[in-house]
Amino acid sequence: MLEVKTGRLLAAWPPQKAARAEAAPGSVFKLVTACAALEEGVTRLARRIECRNVFPLERRSLWCSRSGGHGLMNIREALAHSCNIHFYALGLRLGRDRLLKWSRLFGLGRTTGYSPPGESPGSLPDRAFHPVDVARLAIGQGASFRVTPLQMARLAALVASEGRFLSLPGAGKARQLMRRPVHSVSTWRVLKSGMRLAVERGTAKKAAVAGLAVAGKTGSPERAGSPDERDGWFVGFAPADKPAVAIAVYIARGHGGDNAAPVARKMLEAWKGMR
């Protein structure tokens, strides 16, 4: 849990795992893809993309999580309901290089500077040349795509602060992020409203806290080395309209919406009780 205004680390448990646990970001990465797609002009809020559950690509079939499909959705709704098809389409319009460029702008693939020595930098995919790899990259999946809980908390703080979260206390100049590469305030607002909607009636409903507006995004990527298993992520911030804290929850062999989001709810309830 980070304080959005100062970047201060408020809580990390267990500290070593927050810095060293690695997993694919899964659908949390849709925030990066959405930001890139809006900023690079390959989509806009008014554009809707239809999900019919399956996305044929290069003689392969890629799938969405909802059988029967999500129907027509704009990018805000697609974030809230975590529609894979929407983000496959955006990822292919962006291409590998722009997806990786925006990953770096969000600080992925390098250490945050928060933790004791031994922090993992994670890794960006080194192989995403085939269109199927690019589409999977856009939803946060890839053979060598790894992020840490600290990186995910920082990503949440970046969105919460609309890119003003530039440096970390004591981390020095090298750790600065996002020197205003996002030009449009409306880009941040789309991401934030999509995260708000995710908690109100999307995949992150179990992070809802009575009397506190929460914004969030879940992810349940295939587990590295064992694609039949999943890992669970939740990233988010609160209060949604005036963010004070940003959090990331990672549960190995868990599910984002069912396992990570309820932990986020407990953390935010505790934080609310201490305000």
**Which residues form the interface with Zn ion (CB under 5 A)?**
51, 64, 70, 83, 85
Q: Which residues of 187-218 are buried (b: 16+ CB within 10 A; e: fewer)?
A: bbebbbbbbbbbbeebbbebbbbeeebbbbbb
Q: Which is nearer to Zn ion, 70 or 230 (CB)?
A: 70
Q: Which is nearer to Zn ion, 64 or 263 (CB)?
A: 64
Q: Which is nearer to Zn ion, 85 or 267 (CB)?
A: 85
Min CB(58)–Zn ion separation in Å: 19
| Residue 15 CB burial class (10 angstroms; 0-12, 13-18, ≥19) | middle
Min CB(66)–Zn ion separation in Å: 5
Min CB(178)–Zn ion separation in Å: 29
- Which DSSP letter does residue 241 get? T
The whole-angstrom distance between residue 150's C-alpha and the CA centroid of its chain comes to 12
SS3 (DSSP) at 268: helix
Q: Which residues of 60-89 are buried (b: 16+ CB within 10 A; e: fewer)?
A: eebebeeeebbeebbbbbbbbbbbbbbbbb
Q: Which is nearer to Zn ion, 177 or 190 (CB)?
A: 190
Please tell me the distance from the alpha carbon of residue 261 to that of residue 265, in angstroms, as a whole number.
6
Min CB(263)–Zn ion separation in Å: 26
Looking at the chain, the number of H-run helices and the number of E-run strands are: 9, 10
Min CB(49)–Zn ion separation in Å: 9
Q: Which is nearer to Zn ion, 21 or 83 (CB)?
A: 83
Min CB(43)–Zn ion separation in Å: 15
Q: Which is nearer to Zn ion, 85 or 215 (CB)?
A: 85
